[in-house]
Amino acid sequence: KALFAEIQALTGGVDILVNNASIVPFIAWDDVDLDHWRKIIDVNLTGTFIVTRAATDQMRAANKAGRVISIASNTFFAGTPNMAAYVAAKGGVIGFTRALATELGKYNITANAVTPGLIESDGVKASPHNEAFGFVEMLQAMKGKGQPEHIADVVSFLASEDARWITGQTLNVDAGMVR
């Protein structure tokens, strides 16, 4: 809340929120314990709730239109192995987004999710699992490696006035991997 009070004082308030915090561990189901589960859910889902609560409270208090854009993952649709907690958390983000759209629409606040495929980010390049690109590319309708700007462009659109009539949607940005 202190952060959002500072934003209010400096800028007049939040009108666009992008939920993008995430941790993505690869852990086989047999190795998932409750501490691991809670950590993944806390960062990927509970963190989204906490920040969204503060931002949308500020948006509603200012009585102005707003945008909530949450980064989920196409792993939810693919049922990706060795990622049970992450898949559950990102599925929760999708459900949370849909519920928000219904509840906040009357305030002219839109809520949408973006579900990237595998993106060639610095974190992915450094991962010991970056060999997954070859496999993922075979599943994509369009060939090539996803780049951060592919996601940024969609987020920018959803934050714009051009997207004012779009809410409750999940946009797969994965070169047609999930179709």
Q: If residue 144 lies in a helix (H) or strand (E), which one and from where to where?
A: none
- Residue of higher predicted confidence among 175 and 172: 172
Tell me which residue of 13, 30, 126 sits closest to 67, measured CA to CA: 13
Tell me, what's the pLDDT at 171?
97
* 3-class secondary structure, 28: coil
144 or 15, higher pLDDT: 15
The more confident residue out of 128 and 65 is: 65
pLDDT at 104 over 70: yes
In this structure, what token pair is assigned to residue 2?
């202190």
Task: Tell me which residue has tokens 């400096």.
Answer: 10
Predicted pLDDT at 122? 75
pLDDT in tens, 140-166: 788 888 899 999 999 999 999 999 999
For 115, the enclosing helix (H) or strand (E) is strand 109-116
Q: Which residues are known to be catalytic?
A: 86
Name the pLDDT band for 131 (thresholds 50, 70, 90): low
Average pLDDT over residues 110-132: 81
Q: Which residues contact 26 (CB under 8 A, 6 or more apart)?
A: 82, 83, 129
- Is 0.75 topped by the overall pTM? yes
Average pLDDT on 160-175 reads: 96
Burial class (CB within 10 angstroms; exposed 0-12, middle 13-18, buried 19+) of 17: buried
List of domains in the chain: 2-173 (3.40.50.720)
With bands split at pLDDT 50, 70 and 90, how would you rate the model's confidence at 176?
confident
User: pLDDT value at position 49?
Assistant: 98
Q: Is the pLDDT of residue 69 over 70?
A: yes
Q: Which two tokens stand for residue 153?
A: 């462009």
Q: What is the sign of the dihedral through the CA atoms of 179, 143, 162 and 167?
A: positive
Give the pLDDT score at 61.
92
